[in-house]
Structures are given as structure tokens and as C-alpha cells.
Amino acid sequence: MRQTENISSWRNFPAAQQPDWPDPAALRAVTGRLAEAPPLVFGAECDQLRLRMAAVARGEAILLQGGDCAETFDRVTTDSIRGKLKTLLQMAVVLSHATALPVVKVGRMAGQYAKPRSGAHEERAGVTLPSYRGDAVNGLEFTAASRTPDPRRLRDAYEASARTLNLIRALTTGGFADLHQVHAWNRGFVAGSGTGERYEALADEIDRTLAFMRACGVDTRELGTAEFFVGHEGLLLDYEAALTRTEPETGRTYAASGHLLWIGERTRDPDGAHVEFFSRIDNPIAVKLGPTTTADSVLTLLDRLDPDRAPGRLTFVVRAGAERIRDVLPTLVEKVAAEGALPCWVSDPMHGNTVTAPSGHKTRSFDTVLDEVRGFVEVHRSLGTHPGGIHIELTGDDVTECTGGGNTVRPEDLPHRYETACDPRLNHTQSLDLAFRLAEMYRGRGPLTPAAHAATPR
């Protein structure tokens, strides 16, 4: 078992991207209270997700992870949470049917309140203030008061996460995830989308599958619940450390703030505090890999974070950008496989493809996002390894933050509904478009089965 007795060891390592909390005593008071608070998730749930991720690693399942770039406290509303959940459930049905594999669903939800930034400060009209680092740290409003990090926000992040999780748990077990309803939503999408015809055949197949199951005597109304997990970037180490819990029965230690935590591109230094902290928790974990990632650094991360080479423990989320993915990914996958490791490989086609529109908005083009996913799948196909899934920034709302997609958002549309607190998200329609396109890619060379995954080491 991993040694977890010293969960504070990260304090001896340099921690990148931490806020400059102005009042250390106030921070200690808040984290002290969080250390006494009930966990948001339980170890057994994290273990369950590890099992699911092991199936992804072996090519027997697909990961679908998505949600806001930055959750905000004012959007902890029924409509907003339900919209994201609905979008993810719809995507999952499409992907599962196309691949004949289970889809492991993880929301970038119930904890995605902290953001790493390229610059510590933002300047507007000659005024310089700390950058917005997520609602868990400071406010988006460009005033000195709002931008000053306030540790009471950590407590608010915990409470907002608890409220979100509560609704997610109620919806996913209370009938909202009913397969017929989700399929009916997809039917509505196909009928209303600019590119709907393209997806008609797949929707027809799902109809026939449901009819076939009923004909076989399966009570499809029983398919009314969905397994759903939550995750976020484990960026704020004071918060994460306060919420770690060791289970007396097993001695295993979990970050109890979410089921799956990831380390971002800016904090994955193998000698840094984040890697140290993550090496001490037993959750399934992920690491983002950007375009400059070297094979050596990935092997070091593997040794630090998955020394037992346990499938399901570690996921590499590659976000190299559409232009670089086909060059960067093959060596990384080959070198990792040569080590006898079986991590999950997942594509984040958002973070390597951000551009600034003429209007000044940060945006991403749907076609570029799609191209990165295509490159990711192509590389895995050529190596005989499993393209394990996608990690995307999305919302259930009809926002205009990314350009393109079936109901095309043009660059000049961006100001109409640009609501993200940080990076641009796919809207509901674009997200479903992506799911149908990915389904086509997965189908491109026959069904994905464990047999198709023969080239992986274990």
C-alpha cells in the first residue's frame, strides 16, 4: 500500500500557482474548520472509480469528463447543474452505443473553483490587480477588493461543491438519467441541429436497440440511474490537504474533495509540491500533458505517481494542440508502454487550441478541437493502443464562446453570450456535435474491443 502517513510532506516542496493569501491566520482558521468537516466523497467511491478507470486503461471502457472551465458560486443553480449533467448523459449514450463500451462519466463539477493563470497579474487601463484565480480564491470583478485572495472563499467552495454534489446524486439516482429520456433528448438534438441528418442513422440504431431490448423482456425503465463521478484540478494544496481523510479500516488516504483529481500542465513538475501531494493520496488521479512534454518527464511522473503500475490509478490527459498532437503523442505512448505501464490516455482538445478572436475574446474553433481529437484517435489506432476518451470544457447552456459547430457560432457572435469566467466552453449543441463526431471516429475502424487493444503490455 502507498505510504500516506505524511500527508503534509508537500509543504517541503515548491508549490506553483498558489494564491498570495494576505492573512495566514485567516487561512489557518478556515483550513482548520475544513479539516473537521464531513468528506464530500468517500474512499469506497474513489476505489469504484479506480476500477472503472482500470477498464478504460485496458480498452474496455471510455472516459467522458466535462464541465465548466471555472465553476462559479453564482451558477450553483438547478438549471446550470442539470444542463451540464444532461449534456454529459446525452454524450455518453451516443459514445456508448457507438463503441459498445461502457462510458465512465466524470463531471468537471462540484469543485472546479481554482484556476492556474499564465500571469499573476492583470492590467486594465493602467490599473494592475491580481489575476482572477477562481471563485475559491478571489472574485472576477476587476476591483482591488474583489481580486484580493480571501480564504473564506475556500469554505464557500466546499459548500458550493456539497450543494452541487447533492443535486447530482439526486438527479442521477432519481430518474433524470432514464435512458429513454436521454435518448429522446438526443432525438430532439438530431431533429433541431444544422448537421442533424448526419447523425440520423446512429439515432435510428439506438431506437432499434431499445426496441430489441424491450422485445427480449428487458424492462428498460429500470435503466433509470447513472453512475456519475466528479473531479477537479487539485490546485490549492491548503484546501486539498485540509480535505484529505485517512480511513481507519484500511489506512488508505483520499482527497475527499472529489473522486478524481488532476494535476495541471503548469504544476506537474515532478519535484514540485503537487506531484508530492498526489503521490500520497489513493484516489484515481490524472496529469495534463502539454505540447512541450518530454518522454523523460512522463516516465518520471509515472514512477512518482504510479510506482505500482496499477491500471486505473493514473490517467494522462494530453492537450498538445491540434498542430502538435500527431508529433508529440506517439513517443509518449510508446515509451510508457515500454515501461510496462498501463495508464489511461485521454484527450483534452481544448487547452492547446485557445486563440484570441478579433473581438478580443479567448476562443476555440470547433474544427480545431475536432482535429485534435482526430489526431489523438489516429495516433492510438496506429499504435494499437486505446484512445481512452475525452476531457472537455462544456456547458449545457447556449453560450457563444467557441466558434463553429453544427449551429455555427461565428466570430462576430462571440459577444452575444460569452459567459465563462475563464476559458471558452463548448455549448450544448457543440458538445453533442463533438460526441457524434467522436462516435464516428471510434467506429471508423470497427468496434473497440479489448481484442483491438492487443498491442498494450498488460
Ligand X SMILES: O=C[C@H](O)[C@H](O)COP(=O)(O)O
Binding residues: 69, 108, 265-266, 288, 319, 351, 393, 423
Element at 309 (helix H, strand E): none
Smallest distance from ligand X to CB 456, Å: 30
Smallest distance from ligand X to CB 290, Å: 11
At a CB cut-off of 8 Å and minimum separation 6, what does 108 contact? 65, 66, 67, 68, 71, 231, 232, 391, 393
How far CA 393 is from CA of 168, 358, 366, 370, in Å, comes to 18, 22, 12, 13
Q: What, of ligand X, ligand PEP, none, does residue 82 touch, CB below 5 to 8 Å by kind?
A: none
- Across the chain, how many H-helices and E-strands are there? 13, 14
Element at 363 (helix H, strand E): strand 362-363
* Residue 287 within binding range of ligand X, rule CB under 6 A: no
Subset of residues 366 to 385 that bind ligand X, contact rule: CB under 6 A: none
Locate 176 and state its grid cell: 433524470
Q: What, of ligand PEP, ligand X, none, does residue 288 touch, CB below 5 to 8 Å by kind?
A: ligand PEP
> What is the C-alpha R_g of the chain?
21
Subset of residues 403 to 432 that bind ligand X, contact rule: CB under 6 A: 422-423
Of 48, 234, 79, 103, the C-alpha closest to 167 is 79
Q: What, of ligand X, ligand PEP, none, does residue 58 touch, CB below 5 to 8 Å by kind?
A: none
Nearer to ligand X, 306 or 393 (CB): 393
Subset of residues 120 to 179 that bind ligand PEP, contact rule: CB under 6 A: none
Residue 268, φ and ψ in degrees, nearest 5: -95, 20
Q: Which residues fall in the annotated binding site for phosphoenolpyruvate?
A: 108, 265-266, 288, 319
Contacting residue, 86, 319, 324, 428, with ligand PEP by CB under 6 A = 319
User: Which stretch, 111-119, 254-262, 274-282, 295-303, contacts ligand X (CB under 6 A)?
Assistant: 111-119
Q: What, of ligand PEP, ligand X, none, does residue 118 touch, CB below 5 to 8 Å by kind?
A: ligand X
Q: Which residues fall in the annotated binding site for Mn(2+)?
A: 69, 351, 393, 423
> Strand runs (DSSP E) across 17-87, as ranges?
62-67
Subset of residues 62 to 101 that bind ligand X, contact rule: CB under 6 A: 69
If DSSP codes are grouped into helix, strand and coil, which group holds residue 438?
helix
What's the sign of the alpha-carbon dihedral 135, 117, 26, 258? positive
Cα diameter, the chain = 70
How many beta carbons lie within 10 A of that of residue 217, not counting itself?
6
User: Which stretch, 8-16, 127-135, 194-202, 260-268, contacts ligand PEP (CB under 6 A)?
Assistant: 260-268
Single-letter amino acid, residue 21: W
Q: What, of ligand X, ligand PEP, none, does residue 453 touch, CB below 5 to 8 Å by kind?
A: none
Subset of residues 343 to 362 that bind ligand PEP, contact rule: CB under 6 A: 351
Element at 124 (helix H, strand E): strand 121-124
Of 367, 339, 348, 346, the C-alpha closest to 430 is 367
Nearer to ligand X, 69 or 91 (CB): 69
Q: What, of ligand X, ligand PEP, none, does residue 117 touch, CB below 5 to 8 Å by kind?
A: ligand X
Interface with ligand PEP by CB under 6 A: which residues?
69, 116, 233, 264-266, 288, 319, 351
Interface with ligand X by CB under 6 A: which residues?
69, 115-118, 351, 422-423
